Amino acid sequence: MGQMTPAVERLVRLMVLLPGHHHPLWDSLIADCGDTAEVMAMRWFVGDAAKMWPEAGPVNLARAVLTTFAEAGDATLRILSAVLLADSERPGGSARGTQAAAAWVTQASAAAIDVLAQERSAEDLHQDVMERWTLNR
């Protein structure tokens, strides 16, 4: 088992805030992003990222988060806000707005980008910087 980086841990912790598989949030996300496979596979990506096997688990999760939540509509954000505020069982609970969901999406997207940024080894990163970003060639 590999070691979880802080970026992967942050992303997994954010994912754990989401509801179980038989929740209206998932159907709403599928309707918004149009990528059923990405949404449905997210649970495996979270598990793979948490146990770090296969090594691609965190990268797959990061890409799934960015793909799935990029087009989240207002209805989806209302559902997500209700989930995050743990008030989906209260009458009118989902009418509180989308602020909590928008904050979650921002944090999850930032964590996903951090995971993708750490995908490359330090040696590969150095080589890329030298080839693409150094002015003195």
Q: How confident is the model at residue 10 (pLDDT cuts 50, 70, 90)?
A: very high
Torsion of CA 81, 87, 88, 94, to 10 degrees: -50
pLDDT of residue 93 exceeding 50: no
Task: Name every residue whose Cβ is closer than 8 Å to that of residue 86 and which is 6 or more positions away in sequence.
Answer: none
pLDDT of residue 114 exceeding 90: yes
Q: What is the pLDDT at residue 94?
A: 46
pLDDT of residue 88 exceeding 90: no
Extract the tokens encoding 29: 């996300």
**Mean of the per-residue pLDDT values of the chain:** 86
Mean of the pLDDT values across residues 101-122?
Answer: 93
Domain limits of the chain?
6-132
Determine which of 35-39, 76-80, 91-95 has the lowest per-residue pLDDT on average.
91-95
Q: What is the pLDDT at residue 54?
A: 66
Mean of the pLDDT values across residues 9-23?
Answer: 91
Rounded alpha-carbon distances, angstroms, from residue 16 to 10, 19, 122, 123, 128: 10, 8, 29, 33, 34
Among 70, 62, 66, 74, CA closest to 28: 74
Question: Which 8-state DSSP code applies to residue 5?
Answer: P
